[in-house]
Amino acid sequence: LAPETKSFIAKEQKLLIGGQWKDAGSDALIDVINPADGNRISGIGDATEADIDQAVDTARAAFESGAWPEMKPGERSRVIHKIADLMETHAEELAQLETLDNGKPINFARGDVFASIGAFRYYAGWADKIQGTTHTINLPGDHHVYTLKEPVGVVALIVPWNYPLVMAAMKLGPALAAGCTAILKPAEDTSLSALRLGELALEAGLPEGVLNIVTGYGHTVGNALINHPGIDKIAFTGSTATGKIIAHAAAENLTKVTLELGGKSPNIIMSDADLEKAIPASAMGIFFNSGQTCTAPSRIYVHEDIKDEVIAGIAAVGKSMNLANGLDEESTMGPLVSAKQFERVSAYIAEGQKEGANIASGGVRHGESGYFLEPTVIDQTRNDMTIVQEEIFGPVVVAQSFKTEEEALALANDTQYGLAGAVWTPNISTAHRMVGKIKAGIMCINAVMGADWDVPLGGYKQSGIGQENGKDGLENYLNTKTVFTAL
């Protein structure tokens, strides 16, 4: 570990409120556990309601002072770029924190840091390109009608533990570019990289109170935030169950919400698919990040003629993965994020067996310490099984075969989720026809995952409300004010 990583985790973490690091109101720290070995590596603050009140008041004061929303947009852009510069300088340390906290292989953590820097740079570029519109209208007389784009105000950003830094950057980038002030709540399992980001943001010259970071549990700290009348907007990424709690809370004050929720994304492999590409991509799609990716292609529907080859191929990729402590440069798959998540995923595998599915490979713990689970392929599933309907969020893919395109589409759409999906076939007519019929927000053809900061991303059905990334992502943090002028 780099000396700066060691010294960062050696200290007890605090909350960032009003540009100051302060102890949480409750004395008890929450243990930060390294999922690769189960050892405690640090402690984070458990914020109280009084801390949340203070963070919201501070964010409000910072917003009303105009120090950030009224800063010249080019200047705001420079501060956001400066955050990205400092992240570059400290990239290895951020990656190490991510691996220690989340468990992911260091090489993937480096990729996450790189992507997070990209989010800040991308949205830094938007800060001085925020535009309203002008309108010619039909009313009698002369009018000048235009729209203004104004920052929404104080935003609560609640992020999950699967891509901690990326998720923070994905929300913070556009919120800051728009001129909002923010309270960031990282997940209780993975708060370290966000806290280090807070230090870098202050160093970059972000005015006091623009970014506040509160740590603690979802049902306490998260709950206080989503019910706080001082919050203008909640942006959340996490489970559909928690998304519903947030939507309920937001209804009270009609707080605006963007929700990026769960998925159970169908991956349809047609009989003419290029299996040399489809097999490794489908395997990596579900095993990458130990399956803890909301858009993971977690349900395979494979044409009956090629079923055995595909299942065996995906299982072989799973077996070839190097399950090891993420700090090991050779690791290609880390542990699950926590003991709780390990139990949850294992319970799903047991449930699948009880329901009559076949564990084609994996399904068991790997090694003696930490929360490693072998890449798991479950076949002979049916759509009425729990393991096919619920999001497992682990390295577990469920598979079944189909005979016709119609059958594949019906199976793919038989879900409460609508986040992502994939179709494998060289026939472009078939591919586009099928993509048009699948009810999901992100579709791939001859690929399983794609993302870029410029490309909007959001879920259909119970996978979310609203879009993130791209210009749509920026719009989440802007209000439109219409101005009528009689001339």
Residue 239 within binding range of ligand ADP, rule CB under 6 A = yes
Q: Which of 76, 185, 256, 299 binds ligand ADP (CB under 6 A)?
A: 185
Letters for 106-145 (x = contact with ligand ADP by CB under 6 A, - = none) are ----------------------------------------
CA distances (Å), origin 36, targets 191, 282, 392, 411: 17, 25, 20, 37
Q: Which of 45, 69, 103, 160 binds ligand ADP (CB under 6 A)?
A: 160
Q: Which of 41, 91, 115, 245 binds ligand ADP (CB under 6 A)?
A: 245
Three-state secondary structure call for residue 392: coil
Please name the residues in contact with 373: beta carbons below 8 A apart, sequence gap of 6 or more.
Answer: 290, 335, 336, 342, 345, 346, 362, 364, 365, 366, 394, 395, 396
Residue 219 within binding range of ligand ADP, rule CB under 6 A = yes
Residue 170 within binding range of ligand ADP, rule CB under 6 A = no
CA distances (Å), origin 121, targets 83, 173, 210, 281, 298: 9, 8, 18, 29, 32
Residue 226 within binding range of ligand ADP, rule CB under 6 A = yes
Structure tokens at 385: 């099984």
> DSSP letters of 294-334?
TT---EEEEEGGGHHHHHHHHHHHHHHS-B--TTSTT-SB-
Structure tokens at 373: 């689970």
Cross-sheet strand order for the sheet of 376-379: 358-361, 376-379, 396-402, 299-303, 266-269, 420-424, 442-445
Place of tokens 């800040």: 120
CB of 158 to ligand ADP, least distance (A): 5
Residue 26 within binding range of ligand ADP, rule CB under 6 A = no
CB of 80 to ligand ADP, least distance (A): 23
Letters for 187-206 (x = contact with ligand ADP by CB under 6 A, - = none) are xx------------------
Residue 45 within binding range of ligand ADP, rule CB under 6 A = no
Instruction: Using alpha carbons, select from 21, 15, 12 the residue that is nearest to residue 41.
Output: 12
Active site (catalytic) residues = 260
Residue 220 within binding range of ligand ADP, rule CB under 6 A = no
Residue closer to ligand ADP (CB basis): 62 or 249: 249
Rounded to whole angstroms, the Cα distance separating 267 from 444 reads 9
Place of tokens 């691996």: 99
Q: Which stretch binds ligand ADP (CB under 6 A): 71-79, 196-204, 219-227, 324-332?
A: 219-227
Q: Say how many residues touch ligand ADP, by CB under 6 A.
A: 16
Q: Which of 238, 394, 441, 459 binds ligand ADP (CB under 6 A)?
A: 238
- Binding-site ranges for ligand ADP (CB under 6 A): 158-160, 185, 187-188, 218-219, 222-223, 226, 238-239, 242, 245-246
